[in-house]
Amino acid sequence: DLQMPVLGGLAATETIRHFEDRAKLPAVPVVAYSSTDVRPQILAQHGLNGRLPKPCTGPDLDACLAHWCPTLRLPAGLLAPRSGGPPR
C-alpha cells in the first residue's frame, strides 16, 4: 500500500530494492495496491513494477499474478469470488 502509517509503499520499495542490490539478490515483483492513481513513471522511479487498483476483483488479481509471477500455479478458481461474499 502506498499510504502506510510508518513507511509508505514508495519508501518501502526503495528499501527492498537497496537490500536486493547489496545482497545481489534477484528483484522480486512489487506492485502497489492503492486507491491513489499514481503515474507508472513515478512508481518505476521508486522501483515498483506496477499498480493494482483498490478495490480489485478476483480476475484483476489473477491477471496481476499471471503477469508478474508467470510461474506461479494456483488451483483453478482459488481467487474467484464466492457467491454472496468477498474473494477467498
Q: How many C-beta atoms lie closer than 10 Å to residue 33's C-beta?
A: 15
Q: Which pLDDT score, from 0 to 100, does residue 83 have?
A: 47
Helix (H) or strand (E) holding 19: helix 9-22
Nearest in space to 52 (alpha carbons), one of 40, 60, 44: 60
Q: Which pLDDT score, from 0 to 100, does residue 1 have?
A: 77
CA angle (1, 40, 55) in 5-degree steps: 40
Q: Which pLDDT score, from 0 to 100, does residue 24 have?
A: 97
Encode the chain (88 residues) as per-residue pLDDT tens digits: 788 888 888 999 999 999 999 999 999 999 998 888 888 899 999 999 988 988 888 888 888 888 888 887 766 666 555 444 444 4
Residue 31 phi/psi, 5-degree rounding, is -120, 130
